[in-house]
Structures are given as C-alpha cells and as structure tokens.
C-alpha cells in the first residue's frame, strides 16, 4: 500500500515538474498569471456586455474573485492542485449569464493575450485551455440532452 502511495506522489510530482518546465519554456511565471488576470478582468469590467453580468455577481467581492482566479490559472498552468473551487456551481444561477456570452469572453481573453502573452506558444496554450473551460461550462450550464433525443418531436 505504501508503495502505491509513493508511486502516486512521484507521478504527481513528475506532472508538476513537466508543467513547470513547459510554462518556463513559454516564459510563463506567477507574475504573468497575475498580469493576465488583472488585465483581463479589468477589461471585463469595461466591456459593455460582460461587465454588467460580472459586476452584478461580484460587486464588493472583486478582490476575492481576483485572488481566486489567480489561484485557478496558476493551478491549471503549473498543475499544482492548489485550486479547489467548483466553477460550475459558482456560475449556476448567475443573473443574465447566457451561452452567447462565452464567445465574447473568449474574444476578450484572446485580445488580452495578444497584448501581454510572452509569445505565440503561451497564447496558444492559454487560449486552448480557455476554450476547453468555456466549452465545459457551456455544456454544464446550458446543455439540455433532451433536445438531442431522436424521439423528440419538434414543437
């Protein structure tokens, strides 16, 4: 049993080491994560469509949200396991949140990366990750499998 635990710990450590090396090769460090989150959410607040939705949910709690997003992106990039939030639950019931907002979120994220990513590889990695996150949240929050039922008759 102890050997299994030690083997798992070594496996997790190897994953983290590879992620750290990959990020370092792309010029990504904690300072970049901080800058990405600060820049992106600063732009979100100014965005005519996204800003009101985010601010309605986070008014008075922006510092906590920023810290949580820095922790999230750091954990994702460096595979640290440090983030323990529940993104689907956090987004459930957000007033005026629609599936149509996710492409706008991704476009703004892409524009932010265009301006601050250290290189094309870093932009590609963060965009691919953001696209997976957006797809996962969209499916979790808005997908209705009954609509794909072949037995369903159109209204």
pLDDT single digits (tens) 57-92? 899 999 999 999 999 999 999 988 766 677 767 777
Q: What is the DSSP letter of 119?
A: S
- ∠ CA(44), CA(50), CA(55), 5° rounding? 75
Distance CA 80, CA 8 (A): 14
Q: Is 145 helix (H, G, I), strand (E, B) or coil?
A: helix
What confidence tens digit (pLDDT) does each residue in 102-130 have?
A: 999 999 999 999 999 999 999 999 999 99
What confidence tens digit (pLDDT) does each residue in 19-65 have?
A: 899 999 999 999 999 999 999 999 999 999 999 999 998 999 999 99
């Amino acid at each position: 049993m102890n050997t299994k635990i030690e083997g798992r710990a070594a496996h997790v450590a190897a994953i983290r080491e590879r992620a750290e090396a990959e990020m370092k090769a792309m010029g990504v460090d904690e300072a970049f994560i901080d800058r990405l989150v600060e820049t992106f959410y600063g732009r979100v607040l100014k965005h005519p469509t996204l800003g009101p939705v985010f601010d309605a949910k986070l008014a008075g709690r922006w510092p906590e949200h920023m810290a949580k997003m820095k922790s999230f992106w750091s954990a994702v990039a460096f595979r640290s396991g440090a983030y323990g939030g529940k993104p689907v639950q956090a987004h459930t019931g957000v007033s005026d949140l629609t599936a149509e907002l996710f492409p706008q979120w991704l476009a703004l994220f892409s524009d932010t990366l265009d301006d601050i990513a250290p290189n094309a590889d870093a932009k590609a990695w963060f965009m691919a990750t953001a696209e997976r996150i957006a797809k996962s949240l969209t499916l979790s929050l808005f997908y209705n499998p009954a609509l794909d039922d072949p037995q369903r008759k159109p209204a």
